[in-house]
Structure 1
Amino acid sequence: MAHYKVLYGYEPPQLFFESIAQSSVDVVDQYYRERQIMAKALKENLAKAQNRMKMYAHKKRSEKEFEVGDWVFLKLQPYRQTSIDMRRSLELASKFYSPYQVIQKIRTVAYKLVLPSTAKIHPVFHISQLKRKVGKHVVPAIDPLPPSICSSKVQLLVEPVAILDRRIVKKGNIVSTQILVQ
């Protein structure tokens, strides 16, 4: 049942009167013609608005498709992976992580990747989170930390290599020691 009928108890009025025969009253015929012209104008304006909205919605979209064996970068920022990157400012965190290989195409928009065995995230990702790796040569990863370095409690596993330097800093009346760790 239409919402209009539920609210008012009868069917909504018709906008198109093409099937109605000609009336003997000229005022009624004129009214029907005006309604038809108005309905046609509304329909055209609605179609233009829909096409304009569709154009703006698709403006920044690009058609992506990956094959099994392709290398892709993985975007993790929408998931707020604080277990992977411990920066205070999430805006400054890396968006894409080092290239991973596609091993299975689940659907047209879902792909399974080969992640390290220690990764604690699910290996299937939406196509919007993937970006094709271009070129054959390997670029050293600039990831702050790969997504494989986290414990079962989703805590970051970090082991310092060496203490490089230390200094004493005075802030107001408080003296503190700062350590540079590799």
Structure 2
Amino acid sequence: MMKTGQSRQKSYADKRERELEFAVGDHIFMKIATMKGVMRFGKKDKLNLRFIRPFQILEKIRTLAYRVALPPMLVGVHNVFHISILRKYMSNPSHVLNYKPLQLNPNTSFEERPIQILDRQERRL
């Protein structure tokens, strides 16, 4: 009975397995593990990120390990990662956000202004 259970789990895992390989210079997302009560990357609990921003691959260590270029804010994190926590990043111009700094008043408030109208409807009662 145990042998059939193992066989069933192996066949399920084999179907979900995908061949993934990165080249030096590729950009990847890195998966992070969420832990209850721990704040990571500015978010806590349910709102915690699953993948964090694109990083560049510096070198391939072995078939399943890659060295990643990390920013200075992550200096305490080891920079070699297993392939299972890396996801390929496809660059997309829509990922770039329009960012303008807020103009704060002396009383630390700001005025909201719409950038553009996305939809318009006329309703009849």
TM-score bracket, normalised by the shorter chain, equals: 0.5 to 0.7
> % of aligned pairs identical?
33
Q: Give yes or no for contact 2:43–2:49 (8 Å, CA) kept in 1.
A: no
Hey, what does 1:59 align to over in structure 2? 15
Hey, what does 2:57 align to over in structure 1? 102
2-structure distance, mates of 1:124, 1:78:
19
Q: Find the partner of 2:80 among 119, 124, 134.
A: 124
Q: What SS does structure 2 have at the residue aligned with 1:58?
A: helix
Partner deviation per Cα, 1:28-62 (whole Å, 9 max, x = no partner):
xxxxxxxxxxxxxx9xxx5x655433111223222
Instruction: Name the structure with the higher helix share.
Output: 1
2-structure distance, mates of 1:128, 1:91:
22
Hey, what does 1:75 align to over in structure 2? 31
| Aligned structure 1 segments of 4 or more residues deviating by more than 3 angstroms | 48-51, 78-81, 135-138
Call closer, same or farther: CA 1:55–1:114 in 2, change over 3 Å. same
Q: What RMSD in Å do the two structures reach over aligned CA positions?
A: 3.0
Shift of 1:138: 6.9
**Unmatched runs of 5 consecutive residues or more in structure 2:** 98-102, 111-125
Hey, what does 1:8 align to over in structure 2? none
TM-score by length of 1: 0.45
TM-score by length of 2: 0.62
Q: Which amino acid aligns with 1:84?
A: F
Shift of 1:105: 0.8
Shift of 1:135: 3.6
Call closer, same or farther: CA 1:56–1:110 in 2, change over 3 Å. same
Larger Rg: 1
Larger RCO of the pair (alpha carbons < 8 Å, separation 6+): 2
Map 1:131-150 → 2, pairs under 5 A? 131-135=87-91, 137=93, 139-140=95-96
Select between 55-64 and 101-110 the one with higher mean Cα deviation.
55-64
Map 1:152-163 → 2, pairs under 5 A? 163=108
Number of residue-to-residue matches in the alignment: 100
1-structure distance, mates of 2:66, 2:35:
17
Shift of 1:79: 7.1
Is 1:84 the equivalent of 2:38? no
